[in-house]
Amino acid sequence: MSKIHVTTTINDDPVEFLCEADETLLDVLRDHLGMTGAKEGCGTGDCGACSVTVEGRLICSCLMLGAEAEGQQITTIEGMADGETLHPLQKKFIEHAALQCGICTPGILVAAKSLLERNPDPTEEETRYWLAGNLCRCTGYDKIIRAVIDAASDMREAS
């Protein structure tokens, strides 16, 4: 069967790839494009480790086909830091030790960035609800929530 040719934009870079009809966007990112930041935790949309944004909308890349990426604007964790300069959320995750094994971290960072773009001053409750689809088995979440709220505060002051 012939592969599907897809033209898309990932982290502001034009990207073309070939994929099978049943390959997910996550398969494409990891196996074809070498972008292994998005992780496969569950593969069924429960854990959020594969979070990316499509047209500015937070989604699980395991629940989207690669073919659906045609013409879309996609952002991944690879587009978060500016060269060697970490995003404020990344800095705060290190500062607060908001990660241990790190598997959930790219998805949580992408999801948290999406939250702060919509709501620069989220409450703890809003932050916890927004991140309810990002599972972490190490930290107990408290450090993650504190890091996000602290980053939000710094980002508001900087803007």
Partner 1 sequence: MHYLAPTTVEDAVTALASQTGDCRVLAGGTDLLVRMRSGFAEPDAILDIKRIKELRRITREDGGFRIGAAVSGAEMAEDPDLVAAWPGVVEATGLIGSTQIQGRATMAGNLCNASPAADSVPAMLAANAVVRVAGPNGIRNVPVGDIPTGPSKTSLGAGEFVTSIFLPARPNNASDAYLRFIPRTEMDIAVVGCGVSLTLDDAGICTDARVALGAVGPTVILVPRAASALIGRAVDDTTMVAVVAACSAAASPISDKRGTVAFRTHIAGVLARRATQIAKKRAGGTS
Residues that bind partner 1 (CB under 8 A): 1, 4, 20-22, 24, 43-45, 48, 51, 54, 57-60, 62-65, 67-68, 70, 111, 114-115, 129-134
13 three-class SS: strand
Closer residue to partner 1 (CB): 76 or 134: 134
Separation between Cα atoms, residue 16 and residue 59, nearest integer Å: 21
Residue type, 132: A
Q: Is the CB of 62 or the CB of 147 nearer to partner 1? A: 62
Query: Which lies closer to partner 1 via its Cβ, residue 64 or residue 136?
Result: 64
The overall longest dimension of the chain from CA atoms, in Å, is: 54
Nearer Cβ to partner 1, position 70 or 142? 70
Structure tokens at 67: 């073919």
- Residue 149 Cβ vs partner 1, minimum distance, rounded to whole Å: 17
Q: Minimum distance from CB of 83 to partner 1 (Å)?
A: 28
Q: What are phi and psi of 86, to 5 degrees?
A: -70, 150
DSSP string for residues in 14-83: EEEEEE-TT-BHHHIIIIIS----S--SSSSSSS-TTEEEETTEEEEGGGSBGGGGTT-EEE-GGGTSBT
- Considering the complex, what minimum distance in angstroms separates the CB of residue 70 from partner 1? 7
Closer residue to partner 1, CB minimum distance, 70 or 154: 70
Instruction: Supply the minimum distance, in Å, between the C-beta of residue 48 and partner 1.
Output: 6
In whole angstroms, the minimum distance from the beta carbon of 26 to partner 1 comes to 10
